[in-house]
Amino acid sequence: MRNERGQVMLLTVLLLSGTILSATTIAGLLMLYQIRQATDIANSTKAIYAADTGIERRVYDIFLDPDGLCSLSEPSLDGTLDNGAAFQVACDKQTQTNADGSKTETITIRSTGNANKNYRALETVLARDIPPPPPPLAP
């Protein structure tokens, strides 16, 4: 009988030790995920700002020369920032003829920023009405 009490006590101690060890391991793993997520916030911020930089660069280029950009000859733009983040910008231009004969031009800009395996993407759409050509001058 004494021997059985010792075995039960030993089994109880082992069971409690295993439970505490499991709880500690899970808590440590969750803490590791939190630390990784905290460091990834900085890289995610770099990636989103890189994507924003790509869009701003393409919009600046479009305002400098609205007819020359976003053509098939120059569909994308790549760049790297000083902090190591990079961006890739794709541009698509479409012209639509409306029912009244006027034309609307739509430019879609998609920019992807990346920093240390963190990728963030932004998209913006610019639209403008293309004025009709002036009537010919009478001689």
CA torsion through residues 80, 48, 65, 105, sign: positive
Check residue 72 and give its pLDDT.
Answer: 47
- Summarize pLDDT for 45-104 with one digit per residue, the tens: 999 999 999 999 988 888 887 666 665 455 677 889 999 999 999 988 888 888 777 888
Check residue 65 and give its pLDDT.
Answer: 77
Check residue 134 and give its pLDDT.
Answer: 75
Q: Chain-centre distance of CA 27, in angstroms?
A: 30
Q: How far apart are CA 54 and CA 67, in angstroms?
A: 19
Check: CB of residue 89 under 8 Å from CB of residue 110.
yes
Q: How far apart are CA 47 and CA 117, in angstroms?
A: 9
Output DSSP code: residue 74: S
Q: How far apart are CA 125 and CA 111, in angstroms?
A: 12
Mean pLDDT of all residues in 107-136: 88
Is residue 110 classed as helix, strand or coil in its secondary structure? strand
- Summarize pLDDT for 30-46 with one digit per residue, the tens: 999 888 777 788 899 99
| DSSP-assigned beta bridge partners for residue 97 | 103
Contacts of 105 (CB under 8 A, 6+ apart): 93, 94, 95, 96, 127, 128, 129, 130
Q: In terms of pLDDT, which residue wins out, 130 or 127?
A: 127
